[in-house]
Amino acid sequence: MAVTTRRKPTRAEIRKERMQMAINYPLDWVEERSGLVGGIRYFLFRKVPSDTNWMQTLGSATLTAFLVQVITGVILAMYYKPTPGDAYGSIQNITDQVTLGWLVRGMHRWGASVFIILMFLHMGRVFLFGAYKYPRELNWIVGVLILVMGMMEGFTGYLLPWDQTAYWATVVGINLNGTAPIAGPWLAQFLRGGQEIGADTLTRFYSMHMLLIPGAIIGLITLHLYLVIRLGVTSPPWSKEAAGMERAAATNGNLRPGLTRPATRGSAGRDSD
């Protein structure tokens, strides 16, 4: 602390100290009342295996694609009108009139495909790494549920432009749901909101597409990330220094630096093995 110096602090030193206080005070205030600063610090500075790999960025890439859907979806909702009379016109307006509306709608339309592809790739990576095994079984289940919810977003969002493609794909899609035993007819009735596809179907799909399912996805993603942080990231199974492997095997030399291992400090902790 500057107080311990014998000479009078210079002006620069006083200013520096005040700056630090100005930054620390609100952080300490929040930390004391919520523990959030410590939580974020734990999230950022937690250790991951030093051999993690580019394939392990697919999960965060999927999250990014989802965030793109959230942001573009919020903007689209400002211009979209969910009634059979206005829906098609508002989509034309967004696409052809609103400044950069075509970009926002295009990003939402194609971001959906990217989101679905990334979910499948991420799942493939987890499968190849055997990362769903003990103790991460629950996180696999949460992930599959997010995949199902993502597909349901695709189904409900497809109707919203209220053009021929949207309408007829949904007619058949709802009828297909109706073929399920016992719950089928009830499910089809619920999705349609009546006997025919019309205004009630559109508002129903709109509500599910932008409130119910995204809400569920956000909850599931939160749980998914909590489990990732709690249980940690797995090493690639072929790694010679995979975290958690039997000790005898881990003493094999010739360690290759992984992505998150800086080359200069590569062998620092190895003597303790």
Per-position b or e across 127-149, b if 16+ CB within 10 A of its CB: eebebbeeebeebbebbeebbeb
Instruction: Verify binding: residue 251, other proteins, rule CB under 8 A.
Output: no
The answer to whether 253 touches 241, Cβ cutoff 8 Å, is no
Q: Which of 79, 83, 95, 98 binds other proteins (CB under 8 A)?
A: 95
- Binding to other proteins (CB under 8 A): which residues in 16-35? none
Q: How far apart are CA 194 and CA 212, in angstroms?
A: 20
3-state SS assignment for residue 4? helix
Q: For residue 77, which of 113, 101, 112, 111 has the smallest C-alpha distance?
A: 101
Site string for other proteins, 64-93 (x = CB under 8 A): xx--x---------------x---x--xx-
Q: Binding to other proteins (CB under 8 A): which residues in 209-238? A: 232-234, 237-238
Task: Determine, following the binding rule CB under 8 A, whether residue 256 of this chain makes contact with other proteins.
Answer: no
Q: Does 190 bind other proteins (CB under 8 A)?
A: no
**Both tokens of residue 175?**
């009828």
Which one among 19, 74, 77, 169 touches other proteins, defined by CB under 8 A?
Answer: 169
Among 76, 82, 90, 107, binds other proteins (CB under 8 A): 107
Could you count the other beta carbons within 10 Å of the beta carbon of residue 227? 17
Interface with other proteins (CB under 8 A), residue from 82, 122, 161, 209: 161
Distances (CA, A) of 97 to 100, 110, 221, 257: 8, 20, 35, 52
- Listed residue (220, 181, 210) closest to 62, CA to CA: 220
Q: How far is the CB of 10 from other proteins (least distance, A)?
A: 33
Alpha-carbon span 253 to 245, nearest angstrom: 14
The only residue of 167, 214, 216, 223 in contact with other proteins, by rule CB under 8 A: 167
H/E stretch holding 33: helix 11-34
Nearest distance in Å: CB 15, other proteins = 29
Q: Which is nearer to other proteins, 10 or 179 (CB)?
A: 179
Shortest distance (Å) from residue 116 CB to other proteins: 5
Say which residue the tokens 């919203």 belong to.
160
Site for other proteins in 117-146 (CB under 8 A): 117-118, 124, 127-137, 140-141, 144
Total residues in contact with other proteins, by rule CB under 8 A: 100
